[in-house]
Amino acid sequence: MNEAGLIKLIASGETETVEFKESPNAAFYKTISALANTKGGIILLGVNKRGSISGVKSSSGLLEDLTNRIVNKLSIYPEIETMDIEGKRVIAVNIACSGYPVSYEGRYYERVGNTTREMKPEKLRALFLKGKTWDSLTGDFSLEEIDPEIIHRFIRLAVAKNRLTDVSLDEPPQIVLGKLELMTDGKLTNGAILLFGKNPQKHFINLCVRIGRFKTQTVIIDDKWVRGDLFHQFEEALNIVRQHINVRYEIKGIEREDIWDYPIPALREAILNALIHRDYFDIANFIVIKVYDDHIWFSNPGGLPEGITVEQLKRPHQSCLRNPLIAKVFYLAGYIEQYGSGTIRMVEWMKEAGLPEPEYKEEMGGFSVYFYKDIYTEENLRKMGLNDRQIKAVMYVKEKGRITNKEYQEIAKVSKPTASRELAVLVDMNMFEQQGVTGKGTFYTLKKDSQRAQTAHKGLTKGSNDSQGD
């Protein structure tokens, strides 16, 4: 490019393929990623946003240093030329359109008009070859980034489960990774780094879990980030959640049984599902777990895979694996038993513990799982077969702590026989506990033991169905 061509280019202003920068700051490298991921283009260093030439301070080895920084940060090789205009140096950095997605610090950018924006997950996905999954894509990784200890631990677990027979502890990491399809043509995949890497967040900064303990939506008691390889993220996330829920003990014979607010297998499954099935193309977001007094919310980036609906999750359904290589490793290590059954088992575990079924939702661009500690919600009571009057009575007892037959008559506007009949149904369902035998001193409280909802879930609702009328 000659001086006249450069002056004309500056006079035309910034476009989709032309950007002005006064110095090579972080925005400069983001723009390189954006140009490489769009149509290519040119960045003029030493020119401000108004198109005025400010110049770049020249120094020995400047161009070589700039080239090395671009190569190290983005793994692409630019064409760089310099030109002096009016005694000021301008550096033209030419970026070719890349044949593969180019990231800067683990994020991908694109040009939209004359602006640089972070690429949305669906656009990023379209850049990769059709049929490829995120965990199978190779990157500019070094074998030195793999932790042999994590691989050895995985092998021991998989062998103990009799799920891995063609791998031994004395095999080098590259052989093991090759057999797991986590190394292709001598290159490590994203899945290899996330499963067995010493520091996966070096490449994928937001591939982590954030766990908060909330008193209310705005009052935060604790806030922790979990990083590292996926095995560590799972174990640490589960430990943190356990720290924020209650446990009580029941003595059965000579053994003590721990009774947690939520069944540990269900918590385990919810965290595993989030780690295994999240959309890793969405590098701007992370897995979130929020623990409240009465419920837990698990949220991971990406909705359900194509072909799966929320309604199918509570019945047998075909498994659609978004990250099949990651899922395979967790299966071999014994963390999951079979594909496509986790959401069904969560329902079973919650019901066995006398808790409401988990709620599954697609929302806010991701997938959510809700665990509720309180079975006495209007929606859940209705599912159990309670009529409107009985639901009103349960809500009354939740607030007041107790209810008498007379109070039931007043709030439900029914006769004494109907009140007696419907209260008896609630006692039969193990929902209410009668205090006192008969007479004015008799009142009813919520039954606290875990059996009350198990009985209700078995469908003992005949009495409530019989008492819909007065």
Q: How far apart are CA 242 and CA 142, in angstroms?
A: 36
Alpha carbons within 13 A on the beta-carbon side of 118: 10
Q: How far apart are CA 400 and CA 410, in angstroms?
A: 15
Q: How far apart are CA 62 and CA 369, in angstroms?
A: 53
Which sign does the torsion angle of CA 221, 227, 230, 235 carry?
negative
CA-wise closest residue to 206 among 73, 327, 102, 106: 106
Per the CB < 8 A criterion, the answer to whether 285 and 301 are in contact is yes
> What count of other Cβ atoms lies within 10 Å of the Cβ of residue 221?
11
For CATH 3.30.565.60, the residue range(s) in the chain are: 128-374
Per the CB < 8 A criterion, the answer to whether 167 and 155 are in contact is yes
Which stretch of DSSP H or E encloses residue 27? helix 26-37
Look up the CATH architecture of domain 378-466: Orthogonal Bundle (1.10)
Contacts 24+ apart (CB under 8 A), 304-312: 304/362, 304/367, 305/277, 310/360, 310/361, 310/362
Using the structure block, give the residue that is written with the tokens 């190779």. Answer: 138
Among 3.30.565.60, 3.40.50.720, 3.80.10.10, 3.90.245.10, name the CATH number for the domain at 128-374: 3.30.565.60
Mean pLDDT in consecutive groups of 10 residues from the start of the chain, 470 residues:
82 91 91 90 91 83 84 82 87 81 88 92 71 84 96 94 85 93 93 97 93 92 97 98 91 83 96 94 91 94 81 76 89 81 90 89 92 84 89 92 94 94 92 84 77 43 38
- Fold annotation for 3-119: 3.30.950
Indicate the DSSP class of residue 119: P
- Give the three-class secondary structure for 403: strand
Residues whose CB falls within 8 Å of the CB of residue 188, separated by 6 or more in sequence, listed in order: 138, 139, 141, 142, 143, 145, 146, 177, 182
Q: Return the bridge partners of 363, or none.
A: 366
Per the CB < 8 A criterion, the answer to whether 226 and 211 are in contact is yes
List, in sequence order, every beta strand (DSSP E) within 199-264. 209-214, 220-226, 247-252, 255-260
For CATH 3.30.950.30, the residue range(s) in the chain are: 3-119
Which CA distances in Å does 403 have to 338, 375, 410? 47, 18, 11
Four-point Cα dihedral 297, 299, 305, 308, nearest 10: 10
Predicted local distance difference test score (pLDDT) of residue 427 = 92
DSSP 272-326: HHHHHHS-TT-TT--EEEEE-SSEEEEEEES-PPTT--GGGGGS------SSHHH
For CATH 1.10.10.10, the residue range(s) in the chain are: 378-466
Which CA distances in Å does 363 have to 118, 298, 366? 21, 12, 5
Indicate the DSSP class of residue 146: B
**pTM metric for this prediction:** 0.67
